[in-house]
Amino acid sequence: MSNPNTATVEKYRNNFLREVEANVEDGEWVKMCMQCGVCSGSCPLGPHWDHPPQEIFMMIRANQRDEVLGSSSMWFCTSCYNCIARCPRELPITHIMHGLAHYASKLGFVPKNQQTQKFAQRFWDNLYKKGRVNELKLGLSLYFMNGFAQGVKTSLKMQKVGLGMYKTKRMNPFEIFGGHSCKDSKGLQAALNKAREIEEAKAAKFQQA
């Protein structure tokens, strides 16, 4: 920063855009948005969320950090990929949305009672342990996500489906005791831990810069 010219530019640099580029998956694409709005118009859930993708991208560029990270927008994404298919500039919008969601959740910005976030976290924890999704445990943890009474109610409602799955051997009740696993679940965990380490190192590097 010895060059006074660089220092001046640095002062005006958009810090949140830089933060997103450094920490969010495919974040470097955000600056490529030309604000045409086709993503927002093509999104099947568009009418229901706080800010459509093009607005989120503009907010990132306008340094509205808290509003972006605290918004419900990225949690509405169902990965239908309509936006990616139609974007005239090839922005990986779906991936950026997931990246933003992940980053917001890591920083504790998630809105209260965000159902999608709750599900995503349970799914991840479930998968992390064995390298395979334990459907029984995942299902039950979802039923009881909003309290015991609600859990019992949902379980009773889903009784028939569960029995059907059992009969057709789609679900094994003994999965409740540990359940099946991939070949080297410890190895998988080591790999995932390493990935997290790299990700955190990258974020730390940004904090220092």
Gap between the Cα atoms of 150 and 143, Å rounded? 7
- Closest Cα partner for 20 from 197, 208, 203, 194? 203
- Pick the binder of another protein from 10, 18, 32, 41 (CB under 8 A): 41
Position 35 contacts another protein (CB under 8 A): yes
Taking the complex as a whole, how short is the minimal distance between the CB of residue 86 and another protein, in angstroms? 7
Which residue, 45 or 152, has its beta carbon nearer to another protein? 45
**3-state helix/strand/coil string of 88-116:** CCCCCHHHHHHHHHHHHHHCCCCCCCCHH
- Pick the binder of another protein from 27, 52, 99, 139 (CB under 8 A): 52
Tell me the residue type at 86.
R
Which residue, 23 or 42, has its beta carbon nearer to another protein? 42
The number of residues making up the chain comes to 209
Position 36 contacts another protein (CB under 8 A): yes
Gap between the Cα atoms of 70 and 40, Å rounded? 19
- Pick the binder of another protein from 1, 11, 90, 108 (CB under 8 A): 90
The binding site for another protein (CB under 8 A) comprises 34-38, 40-42, 46-47, 51-52, 54-55, 85-86, 88-90
